[in-house]
Amino acid sequence: MKIAVIGTGYVGLVTGTCFSESGNDVTCVDIDETKVQKLRSGEIPIYEPGLEEMVKRNIKARRLFFTTNYEEAIPEAKCIFIAVGTPQTEDGSANLDSIWKVAETLAPLLSKEAIVIIKSTVPVGTNRKLAAQLKSLTGREVDVASNPEFLKEGAAIDDFSKPDRVVVGVSRPEVSEVLHELYKPFLRTEHPFLSMELESAEMTKYVANCMLATKISFINEMANLCERVGADINQVRRGIGHDQRIGFSFLFPGVGYGGSCFPKDVSALISVARNQLMEPTILNAVDQVNTSQKRVLFEKINRYFKGDLKGKTFAIWGLAFKPKTDDIREAPSLVLIDQLLEAGASLKVHDPVAMENVKAKYGEQLSYFDHHYDTLDDADALVIVTEWNEFRHADFDYILHKLTTPVIFDGRNLYDPENMTQKGIEYFGIGLSSVKDKS
């Protein structure tokens, strides 16, 4: 099938590449000339395991093309996926300017059989608005479909190629059949293709992300409460997770969720609800808990050093919003860095892949180290913000020897508190029953 994908961000690039991998003829369109030049030579603008090899392989097989010119992609395409950004506006709603601009540009080039599919996360009602706009631009009915994407950064190829489910919103069954055919190589009996109304598909994406964000804010609030009452969230997690209705997944306490999706989508759904004159009590709380959770590490550090952080040096391990990505959008590390700098501390930082992005934001304000152990020289404490695998089995004797004060603040509960005590390291995690932490 001939496919066009508009927008070569995370979702667009992975979508285009995975569809070409399953034998389709895919042209990806982006307005950024430099980006397109790089992509043509197989250089990808993001860090995503396995993606670069897949892009190169499909370019070589002449199934994957990149262009800035809509005319090279749209007229022959049966399916046109729109995967442009829908950033958050100041009032929390999604900014759809890019979607409308794309619609205007592609309308005159559409073939009669074309289906225009929105992959970007968009508020309920957007697909119907797009259909109306395409009708007024072309003077005829154009098939529109909603096809939200659930992939996670760092596992994008796997998530796309083995999705838990594929959701499409359509206004007639024939459109659903075409999309079902396209997705067949990725489906299994237990990974179904779910076809529904446009509005339900749009809502599914928000509800999925907001449900996951709710789990995180809930467990973070419980973790904070565990600390205060002398309970241990790890034990509690085990205690609740065996109940199959609850389960274990996505209930790891930490320093709050970040990234390009959860914060934006929670705000957007709040805005959708308010437009319907409904105040979404739970979503508001999820957002508030997350904002304060991003400050929890600083509060622990500040309390330990009795409010005197001026001139102190901290080693920070992990800057990306989660492991296996260089993405620092809405990352909890940024909140911590701002707070520590404001308090007059010096920061020695390391991240396996996100350092360039942090450098672009903070420049000389931070000291950057290629190896995480090199951040420890003369540091007053070690602070862990992202749970990269390489931090999991640390050499504690070395850490102890290097730190001025033998203390670790761990925002991801990577280490065994008892082991830390035996080593003579003071250890503060999230939701652990450390007596010292309850001051």
Residue 274: CB minimum distance to ligand UDX, A: 22
Helices and strands in the chain, H and E counts: 16, 14
**Nearest alpha carbon to residue 144 among 108, 168, 109:** 168
The angle formed by the CA atoms of residues 181, 184 and 188, to the nearest 5 degrees, is 150
Out of 18, 79, 210, 261, the active site residue is: 261
**Nearest residue (CB) to ligand UDX, 296 versus 403:** 296
The angle formed by the CA atoms of residues 278, 291 and 91, to the nearest 5 degrees, is 45
Q: How many CB atoms lie within 10 A of CB 385?
A: 29
**Binding residue (CB under 6 A) for ligand UDX from 30, 48, 143, 153:** 153
The span of 38-46, 92-100, 148-156, 221-229 binding ligand UDX (CB under 6 A) equals: 148-156
Residue 388: CB minimum distance to ligand UDX, A: 11
Residue 251: CB minimum distance to ligand UDX, A: 5
Q: How many CB atoms lie within 10 A of CB 344?
A: 11
**Nearest residue (CB) to ligand UDX, 143 versus 287:** 287
Q: Binding to ligand UDX by residue 65, rule CB under 6 A?
A: no
Q: DSSP secondary-structure letter at 431?
A: S
**Binding residue (CB under 6 A) for ligand UDX from 258, 263, 352, 406:** 258
**Binding residue (CB under 6 A) for ligand UDX from 7, 85, 169, 259:** 259
Question: Is 210 one of the annotated active-site residues of the chain?
Answer: no
User: Which residue number places its CB atom closest to ligand UDX?
Assistant: 261
Residue 367: CB minimum distance to ligand UDX, A: 25
Count, residues near ligand UDX per rule CB under 6 A: 19
**Nearest residue (CB) to ligand UDX, 259 versus 280:** 259
Q: What are the tokens at 368? A: 């950057």
402 assigned to a ligand binding site: no
**Nearest alpha carbon to residue 292 among 332, 344, 342:** 332
Q: Binding to ligand UDX by residue 150, rule CB under 6 A?
A: yes
β-strand 313-317 against 346-350: which pairing, if any?
parallel
16 assigned to a ligand binding site: no
- The answer to whether 184 and 158 are in contact (CB under 8 A) is no
Q: Which of residues 218-257 bind ligand UDX (CB under 6 A)?
A: 250-252, 254, 257
Spatial separation of the C-alpha atoms in residues 374 and 378, rounded to whole Å: 10
86 assigned to a ligand binding site: yes
- The answer to whether 173 and 193 are in contact (CB under 8 A) is no
Three-state SS at 4: strand
**Nearest residue (CB) to ligand UDX, 323 versus 406:** 323
The span of 144-152, 280-288, 299-307, 429-437 binding ligand UDX (CB under 6 A) equals: 144-152
Residue 121: CB minimum distance to ligand UDX, A: 8
Spatial separation of the C-alpha atoms in residues 169 and 186, rounded to whole Å: 18
**Nearest alpha carbon to residue 132 among 141, 123, 124, 122:** 141
Residue 310: CB minimum distance to ligand UDX, A: 30
Q: What are the tokens at 241? A: 């997770």
- The answer to whether 36 and 69 are in contact (CB under 8 A) is no
Q: Binding to ligand UDX by residue 322, rule CB under 6 A?
A: yes
Spatial separation of the C-alpha atoms in residues 110 and 155, rounded to whole Å: 33
40: Cβ contacts below 8 Å, ≥ 6 apart: 59, 66
Residues annotated in a binding site for substrate? 150-153, 205, 250-254, 258, 322
Residues annotated in a binding site? 30, 35, 86, 121, 150-153, 205, 250-254, 258, 264, 322, 329
**Would you tell me which residues interact with ligand UDX (CB under 6 A)?**
149-153, 209, 212, 216, 250-252, 254, 257-259, 261-262, 321-322
Residues annotated in a binding site for NAD(+)? 30, 35, 86, 121, 153, 264, 329
Catalytic residues: 261
